[in-house]
Structure 1
Amino acid sequence: MQDMSPETSSTGLPRVSAVVLAWGAEPLLRRSVEALLASVKVEVDVVLVDNGCTTDDVDQLRDTAGVTVVGEGHNVGFSAGCNVGVAASDGEYVALINGDAVVEPTTLARLVEELADPSIGIAAGAVRLADEPDLLNSSGNEVHVLGLSWIGGFRERETRTEPTETAGAMGACLVTRRAHWDRLGGFDPHYFAYHEDADLSIRTWRVGLRVVNVPDAVALHRYEFSRNGFKFYLVERNRVMFVVTLWGARSLALLGPPLLALEFAMLALAARQGWLPDKLRGYRWLWQHRGHLRQRRARLQAERTVSDRVWMRVLTDRLDTPLINPPGTPVLNAAMAAYWRLIRRWV
């Protein structure tokens, strides 16, 4: 592709490459792409990744001006699919937008505007529920000190008037500078799906940059909350990979007791709810990929520029996720809050 920076573009506007994954049969996909192309105050191109689309939407969009189609037509996962899309783009800014999310005309421009602050590494949109647009899907994702991550502000009404810092940017609608994406190397494709946005966000905090959620950068999301064995497998497997590669050695040692307690709680919950084989499958995968985990941990520990004590201030000690609620969650929350207050000065 031809290199066109905002300074050399014919419009003089910031250039944003929006990566959209086409997977399965998504009724909002065309609206999602059309809304991106209708963005104002930025010059947008869309990289549409055929990640196993089962309708004719990709073929219908292929000849649309401003759209580039890549991908081999099978599901390589959200993480790898986004990497493919970004690699095929050349905008100064990279946007990740879900195929079931529809942005407002000014959303991308507002996120780019926030990134003019050099202390910000990722700017994420306020994601609202497509069928109930007065309610939030996410005002930013929460990340727990034990590695769990979930959407924040779910089904709340928007009351913010200014951007707020958030531990995690929801991958459904975020923008970052290409230079920052390249610095971090994008997503680890081993995540496949879930936790990759938490990984990118926490790594951003660990290199001294901030992650913000912007209330007037709105995307409407056709959100479906699902529970199935494969999702539990990925969520739990990826949580462990996330923690063992990003948390420092001292933090892992200090958090060892509650991390072990959480594992036992998850095993009990998995047995009770019928997804124990999926939990055990995750352990098997982690063991089989221990070489990758060691190598990734070494690289991520080397890239960190701020201490755990500094970046861990964005984490929460409260477990409040609708997906996984281990037995005795209120007791766990009280105990974790007390334990975290005790040890955080030494991480």
Structure 2
Amino acid sequence: MSHPRVVDVVLLTMNDRPAEEKAAQATLLAQRGVDLRICVVGNGCIPDIVPAGARTVVLKENLGIPGGRNAGARALGEAEHPGDCLFFLDNDATFPREDVLSRLVAAAEQHPGAAYVQPRLTGPDDTTSPRRWVPRLRTSDPWRPGTITTMTEGVVLVRRSAFDAVGGWADEFFLYHEGLDLAQRLWSRGSTGWYAAEVRMHHPLTSPARHDQFHRLAARNRVWVAYRNLPAPLIPAYLAIWAFITAVRSARGGGACESFRGLREGWSRRRDQARCPMSWRTVLRLTAAGRPPVI
């Protein structure tokens, strides 16, 4: 790149991972080829670890991950000359090289139709990529770059103009599937996503099921994704497919009662969500990109 680009970085914390957060911030501050503006958001707390010169946002209560990240994005957007790109960083994710952000920005420049660029997320071994971290249906080759229709929320570069145009993350999701919702809304505006598989980031190999509310919130938010984004005729198909998948997964790993409680909650509260169904043209575009929106 001929000159540095400004990247606004939002890092959310609950002061629950001090060692991991120190490592995340150290590798963030080591990035080269970009100008960083950082906002550390205390989600129901005052952040304990804040880099010199960074902004802080202190939320009186835990608003959930999308709500906290929106607060950080707003704070950076209110600054003079906001960056063209936002990077959302989990506080336990690390950059294995000093050029990760500059390469992601370069990928965004090479793919102007992509509203977001996703690096390849691996465990600390630099190799292991669980299925859930590969942002496409065909997960056998996580090293293959290409157009994607969803995202891994905790390490993603998003164009600010596109992010602001769709209203950012869905606050009310609190946790889980906010990336799928955001991706579908960005696609609805004619954009795509790009998987820069050659650019790696590291994350502990933790399971999302470690959170007590995982089964309920994941199921509830699936319903809300469908109601918010899908044409009406596709909603029953989507929910039927995911009810079946949920039943199969629950038989193997438990959580059936909470999962189906979440499905009921999502359906009963669906009208609380802002509905803006995608066009049939977007359905076709998503299908052509390898992920029909009912899957």
The gaps in structure 2 that reach 5 residues or longer are 77-81
Cα deviation for residue 269 of structure 1 reads 6.0
Distance 1:108 1:261, change over 3 A: closer
- 2:118 maps to which residue? 124
| RMSD, aligned CA | 3.0
| TM-score when normalising by structure 1 | 0.72
**3-state SS, counterpart of residue 186 of structure 1:** coil
Stretches of 4+ moved more than 4 A in 1? 267-274
Letter in 1 for 2:34: V
Q: Which of 141, 152, 173 lines up with 1:191 in the alignment?
A: 173
Give 1:69's match in structure 2, choosing from 50, 56, 60: 56
2:197 counterpart of 1:205: no
Mapped contact 2:152–2:179 kept (Cα < 8 A): yes
**Aligned pairs (5 A) from 1:309-324:** 309-316=284-291
Residues 175, 226 of structure 1: alpha-carbon distance in 2 compared, 3 angstrom cutoff: closer
Contact 2:224 2:270 in 1 (8 A): no
CA–CA separation in structure 2 for the residues paired with 1:267 and 1:136? 25
Is 2:216 the partner of 1:233? yes
Kindly state the Cα deviation for residue 140 of structure 1 after the two structures are TM-superposed: 3.3
- How far does the alpha carbon of each residue in 1:103-155 deviate from its partner, in whole angstroms, 9 at most, with x for none? 2311111111122232111101111102x223335663236xxxxxxx945xx
Aligned partner of 1:78 in structure 2 is 65
* 1:195-231 residue CA offsets vs partner (Å, 9 max, x unmatched): 1111111222222212111123221111301435510
Query: Does structure 2 retain, via aligned residues, the 8 Å contact 1:37–1:46?
Result: no
Contact 1:208 1:306 in 2 (8 A): no
Q: Which amino acid aligns with 2:288?
A: R
Cα distance in 2 between the residues matched to 1:218 and 1:284:
38
* Distance (Å, rounded) in 2 between the aligned partners of 1:212 and 1:315: 13
**2:147 counterpart residue number:** 165
The 2-side partners of 1:113 and 1:265 are apart by 38
Which of residues 96, 102, 105 is equivalent to 1:109?
A: 102
The equivalent position to 1:38 in structure 2, one of 27, 30, 38, is 30
* TM-aligned CA distance change 1:173 to 1:226, over 3 Å: closer
Residue 220 of structure 1 is matched in structure 2 by 202
* Structure 2: distance between partners of 1:304 and 1:71: 39
Counterpart position of 1:146:
none
Q: Deviations over 1:136-176 (max 9, x none)?
A: 35663236xxxxxxx945xx7x644xx32222121121111
Q: Aligned pair count? A: 283
Query: Partners of 1:108 and 1:304 in 2: how far apart?
Result: 33
Superposed CA offset, 1:55-89 (max 9, x none)? x9x3342xx32311112264221111110110111
The aligned residue for residue 251 of structure 1 is 234
Residue of structure 2 equivalent to 1:13: 4
**2:122, 2:203 within 8 Å by CA — same for their partners in 1?**
yes
CA contact 1:17–1:91 (8 Å) conserved in 2: yes
Separation (CA, whole Å) in 2 of partners of 1:60 and 1:118 = 35
Compute the displacement of 1:292 (Å).
1.8
- Which of 8, 14, 18 is 1:23 aligned to? 14
Question: Are 1:133 and 2:126 counterparts?
Answer: yes
Other-structure match for 1:279: 259
Q: CA deviation digits over 1:296-319, x for unaligned, max 9? A: 11xx22x759431222333547xx
Which piece of structure 1 moves more, 27-36 or 261-270? 261-270
> d(CA) in 2 for partners of 1:88 and 1:304?
32
Q: Which amino acid aligns with 1:314?
A: A
Contact 1:207 1:304 in 2 (8 A): no
Cα pair 2:94 2:201 within 8 Å, conserved: yes
Q: Distance in 2 between matches of 1:263 and 1:313?
A: 25
Q: Does 1:98 find its partner at 2:90?
A: yes
When Rg is computed on C-alpha atoms for both structures, the one with the higher figure is: 1
Q: Could you list the per-position Cα deviations for residues 263-301 of structure 1 after superposition, in whole angstroms to 9, with x for gaps in the alignment?
A: 2663576588653442343245325533323xx11xx22
